[in-house]
Amino acid sequence: MKRLLLSILICPVSFVLAQAPGSIEPAPAQSQPAAAPAQNSSQPAGGGSQSSFLGKDVPVLDPGSEIVTWDGRNWNINNNRMFEARFEKYLSAPESAAGSDLEYQKIILAIMDKMAPNRVTPASTDEAFQLLPKASEYEVDANLCDAIANQVYSSWLARRNKDRLASANKSLEDERKRLEWNAKMTAQSSPLEPGRSGGSNDAANAEAQKQAQLRRDMEMQPILTRLAEINGLLKANQLKSEVAELQVKIEFQALLVQLFLQRRFQHAVIGTRFYRSIFADGDSQLRVGDDARNLFSKTTGLPPTLGTIDSMANEIMRDVKEGVSAFKYLLEKKELESATKRLAETFLIGEYLPSVRTLSRDDKREALAFAQSTNKLISAIEVKDYALAETIVKELAESAKDFDSSKPMAAIETAKTVSAMHIAKARNAAVSGDRETLETELRSATEIWPRNPALATVSSQIFSQADVQGRALIDFDQLLGQKNYRQIFDDRMRFIAATAMHPEKQEQLREVLDRMASVEAAIIRSQEIEKRGDYAGAWESAERAFKENPDDNKLNQLRSDLTTKSADFVRALREAQSLESKNQAGSSLAWYLKAQKEYPPSEFARDGIQRLTKVILPDAS
Amino acid sequence: MQMARRSSKSGAQIWLIFAVILIVAAFLGAIFIFPRDSNPYRTVPALEVSSYLDNANSLRGNVYRVEGEVVNSLAWSPASGRLIAVGVSEGKDILPVLVTNEFNQLNIQKGQKFIFLLEIDENGILKTKNLTKS
């Protein structure tokens, strides 16, 4: 409950300083110290419907989620840029100078001790008052002790003025009494004589009484007038006294609330003790506006009183000491996440308390390193740099035993998985030539994980693949036009991949590969025959394939080699074929017969002989 | 006497040897000058095989003598005759010869040697005008 209130109260100091005045009941301008409230002239005094405490809505903290809602905005107390900056500054700063801070704390503690409820005396109050300017000399005090001293002095002056008014009232009271006596005496010394009855004497008596009455009234008039004046002065002095005291009380209360909101809890305690010693009338109720009253009553369940401020300030100081102690213990156990959170909470509450300010820099550095890493992690996730985020998570898991990596890793893994799915879809779209889907999926993958290393690789692969595919198709068409089936066959894997999505080209490629398969088979067959020393037979095999594939270089080369190895046979066949083409059946047949003599198994020779035999003897059986 | 008888006897022997030598020389000269008359077409020019192989059309209408051995029978037509392969030039070349049907009664087998009287017809085919075993 206290932490809740504190979390609400201890908003950044700048906000407090700028907005706090609106919460306090109207306080007349006076020579207030630096921390004195500044009236916002643009808003009605006292905070009407147009003005509320701390500007607009009262901040609300959800302890479950550590989310503060204020002015229509939400933020996590552990993830707020302003707080992060302030916290990191604190963690980076050296501990307060041991000497000066110790002396300052001694003075503060001495003041608190002298003003302790069970020890306070007029003499100790004076001594404590004299220590206030000394404490104010230290930078860490920020002249707040001066502010308290000024307020105490103003209160004393007000009290002294009240005494003077009381003395004046006593004189006036005496004067009033004297005037009342005089009036009484005057009335007794001028009695009205009773008239005689009968005749003209009745009229004379009435006239005489009238004159006596007039004479007495004339004597009483100055006395009564003065008496009325005295009564008026008395009432005026009473009112003046009450108003002056109330005014001073309100000013003092405003200062106390301000010190509390500024998290200057030691000063708040000192202030409440001075207040009680000055205004010992038992009136400890805080005269604050509705918002401030609600702030206290709804969070503590108590009405806003000096006691509330005093007890809460003391409780907070104790809580801060515990927080620092817990931080040191967790740090010792290498539980950096918890340690840093506890320190952040403690710092948020007790930024100006000695236990926080004197925390060693080395201890803070460990928390700083963790805080910086977590801030980097948050930034990395915010900018969707999941590779960096994963690296940081791993580092944090190694350095902090209690670091819960499940949430960030879940976010990272989810993003990675979704991005990978989009990339896979983009790949499929690229393969199927669906450019629209490709662009959409790549865009989605980029939005989810802009710095995904696979994205650049895949993109370049996809685009280069598309480029290669297009180039391969062009090459295929060119080679097909040139009847360079050998080149197509040699690059068949490339063309198979390139024509995968083009059925008409796939069919063309299939025909080429079938043709080349037969050529390759013929080449292999020729080479096998050649190995047996049957050059003419090898040549025939190559020649047969060559007739169907005259443009195949490899086959042509083999055929040329075999031609030289079976020159006589080949020459005979060539001559035979040449003469046959010239319709010289006799000569041609002679050459075929010669070729057959050279290589009896020759199919070319046999076929030629059969052909020409048919020519010579068409009716031969 | 004995001396005279001995000299007349050796003289007769010399004459006898001379006569024998003369007879042998005459026989050999006759053989040389008058070869055996087994080739009946000896007056017909022999076919220049290389010319025929180069361009048979240029020899069309000519008649040549070819002597060779039957290598193979390529085809047979009762109406047109037989087409055989004849090895010539000691088997170096093989010529196709069409043995026309007028020689159908003649047995022609592989390995037989013949002397052909051949005419080169309009298609450059060697057609037999006559033939005889050699």
Interface ipTM: 0.76
pLDDT: is A284 or B34 the higher one? A284
- Pick B75's closest partner by Cβ from A591, A594, A613: A613
The residue to which tokens 């020759």 are assigned = A602
- R_g (Cα) of chain B, nearest Å: 25
Question: Which residues fall within 8 angstroms of residue B118, CB to CB, at 6 or more apart?
Answer: B47, B63, B64, B65, B66, B97, B126, B127, B128, B129
CB–CB contact A589 B96 (8 Å): yes
Closest CA to A386 of A410, A369, A402: A410
Chain centroid to Cα A91, Å, comes to: 19
Which residues of chain B are at the A interface, by a Cβ-Cβ cutoff of 8 Å? 52-57, 71, 74-77, 79-81, 83, 85, 93-96, 98, 120, 123-126
- Pick A590's closest partner by Cβ from B79, B96, B123: B96
- Pairing assessment for the beta strands A73-76 and A67-70 based on DSSP bridges: antiparallel
Quote the minimal CA–CA distance from B43 to chain A in Å.
24
Tokens in use for A404? 């819960």
Q: Are A69 and A60 in contact (CB under 8 A)?
A: yes
User: pLDDT tens digits, residue range A11-56?
Assistant: 333 333 333 333 333 333 333 333 333 333 333 333 334 444 444 4
**Residue type at position B119:** E
Helices (H), A190-305: 199-261, 265-278, 290-300
Q: What is the largest CA-CA distance in chain A?
A: 207
Q: Report the chain B residue with the minimal C-alpha distance to residue A583.
A: B123
CA distance A524 to B23: 73
Determine the residue among A573, A581, A589 to mutate to test chain B binding: the one whose Cβ has the most chain B Cβ atoms within 10 Å: A589
CA distance A131 to A275: 16
Other Cβ atoms less than 10 A from the Cβ of A358: the count is: 15
User: pLDDT tens digits, residue range A423-461?
Assistant: 888 888 777 767 788 888 888 888 888 888 887 777 776
pTM: 0.46
Quote the minimal CA–CA distance from A614 to chain B in Å.
9
Residues of chain B positioned with their CB less than 8 A from the CB of A583: 123
- Pick B77's closest partner by Cβ from A575, A585, A617: A617
Tokens in use for A236? 């005026």
User: pLDDT tens digits, residue range A235-246?
Assistant: 888 887 777 788
- R_g (Cα) of chain A, nearest Å: 56
Quote the minimal CA–CA distance from A566 to chain B in Å.
17
pLDDT band at A609 (very low <50, low <70, confident <90, very high): very high
User: pLDDT tens digits, residue range A267-298?
Assistant: 999 999 999 888 877 777 777 777 777 777 77
- Pick B75's closest partner by Cβ from A591, A593, A620: A620
Which residues 545-604 of A have a C-beta within 8 angstroms of B?
Answer: 575, 579, 583-587, 589-591, 593-594, 597
pLDDT: is A152 or B32 the higher one? A152
Determine the residue among B125, B127, B128 to mutate to test chain A binding: the one whose Cβ has the most chain A Cβ atoms within 10 Å: B125
CB–CB contact A616 B124 (8 Å): no
CA distance A309 to A312: 5
Q: How many CB pairs under 8 A join A and B?
A: 73
CB–CB contact B77 A597 (8 Å): no
State yes or no: pLDDT of A100 exceeds 90.
Answer: no
Percent of chain B residues topping a pLDDT of 70: 87
pLDDT: is B35 or A271 the higher one? A271
